[in-house]
């Protein structure tokens, strides 16, 4: 069956360093991917998305990379800040439904 | 503020109680969703409504009963729940279910504890 998974459930980084959060997906027909951020006590919030006809997309301090060959997605956060501490989910869109991965909890050490 | 408001934020109920969760979106969207978020598990899609019509029921037990009176409001009626139903219930909305972007706007969730 279809699945979306993250490589590590937790990630700890030093403030100011770059963070890389990884995600693998199983459905080669997936054509749209989204990263969400969920802070404690809040619902998930959209960060950035990417379509399968792209391999890289940049936002403000965030970059998403898509490798369709190995069905791998990554979120890079530049100059990680304490406010980036949250759980990060990748999701792929198939048949009008978003399928979410399990999430990686990012902790930022001062 | 995401434009999606959920009440109550916290709910404790016994297994024989009947309660309801409410969601309201102020974004003018046409599709609304219920998701269940349990610890250490991915978000699970429960129900989808598009233009007030239910378009998805993801094999959810009948003790969960959704209601969508209009495109802005969504309810989840709860009765005779089990302790394993304790979770965060998230409501979301989007412009349409087959939307080009697929972006969902989530509320902050209702934390449910079943005793």
Q: Choose, out of B103, B107, B109, B110, the residue to mutate when testing the contact with A (most A CBs < 10 Å).
A: B103
Q: Which two tokens stand for residue B61?
A: 């037990």
Residue A7: pLDDT band (50, 70, 90) is low
Span A46-69, average pLDDT: 95
Is there a contact between A43 and B90 if contact means CB atoms under 8 Å apart? yes
Q: Which of A98, A99, A102 sits opposite B104 (nearest CB)?
A: A98
| C-alpha Rg value of chain B to the nearest Å | 13
- pLDDT, residue A71, reads 92
pLDDT digits (tens, 9 = 90+) for A13-26: 999 999 999 999 88
Residue B8 pLDDT > 80 = yes
User: Following DSSP, what letter does each residue of A61-110 receive, concatenated?
Assistant: SEEEEEETTTTEEEEEESS--GGG-EEEEEEEEETTEEEE---EEEEEE-
Q: Which of A42, A45, A93 sits opposite B102 (nearest CB)?
A: A93
Is B48 in CB contact (< 8 Å) with chain A?
A: yes
Nearest to A90 by CA among A42, A28, A25, A26: A25
Please state, in angstroms and rounded to a whole number, the distance separating the CA atoms of residues A48 and A45.
Answer: 10
Is B56 in CB contact (< 8 Å) with chain A?
A: yes
Least confident of A59-63, A89-93, B6-10, B69-73: A89-93
pLDDT digits (tens, 9 = 90+) for B33-87: 999 999 878 899 999 998 889 988 889 999 999 999 999 999 999 999 999 999 9
Q: Is the distance from CB of B52 to CB of B43 less than 8 angstroms?
A: no
Q: Which two tokens stand for residue B23?
A: 């969601």
Residue of A nearest to B95 (CA): A96
Span B17-40, average pLDDT: 94
β-bridge partners, B75: B22, B67
List CB contacts of A109: < 8 A, sequence separation 6 or more.
A12, A13, A14, A15
Is B75 in CB contact (< 8 Å) with chain A?
A: no
Span A52-59, average pLDDT: 95
- pLDDT, residue A97, reads 77
Residue of B nearest to A93 (CA): B102
- pLDDT, residue A1, reads 42
Q: Is B112 helix (H, G, I), strand (E, B) or coil?
A: strand
- pLDDT, residue B95, reads 87
């Amino acid at each position: 069956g279809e699945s979306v998974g993250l490589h590590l459930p937790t990630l700890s980084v030093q403030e100011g360093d770059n963070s890389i959060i990884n995600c693998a997906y199983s459905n080669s027909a997936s054509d749209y991917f989204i990263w969400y951020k969920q802070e404690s006590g809040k619902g998930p919030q959209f960060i950035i998305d990417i379509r399968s006809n792209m391999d890289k997309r940049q936002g403000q301090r965030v970059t998403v990379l898509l490798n369709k060959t190995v069905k791998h997605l990554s979120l890079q956060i530049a100059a990680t800040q304490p406010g980036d501490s949250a759980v990060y989910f990748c999701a792929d869109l198939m048949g009008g439904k978003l399928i979410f991965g399990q999430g990686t909890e990012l902790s930022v050490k001062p | 503020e995401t434009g999606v408001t959920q009440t109550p934020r916290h709910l404790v109920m016994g297994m024989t109680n009947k309660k309801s969760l409410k969601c309201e979106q102020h974004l003018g969207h046409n599709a609304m969703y219920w998701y269940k978020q349990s610890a250490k598990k991915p978000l699970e899609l429960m129900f989808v409504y598009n233009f007030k019509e239910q378009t998805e029921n993801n094999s959810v037990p009948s003790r969960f009963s959704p209601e969508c009176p209009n495109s802005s409001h969504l309810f989840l009626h709860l009765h005779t729940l089990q302790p394993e139903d304790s979770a965060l219930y998230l409501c979301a909305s989007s412009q349409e279910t087959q939307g080009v972007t697929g972006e969902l706007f989530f509320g902050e969730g209702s934390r449910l504890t079943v005793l």
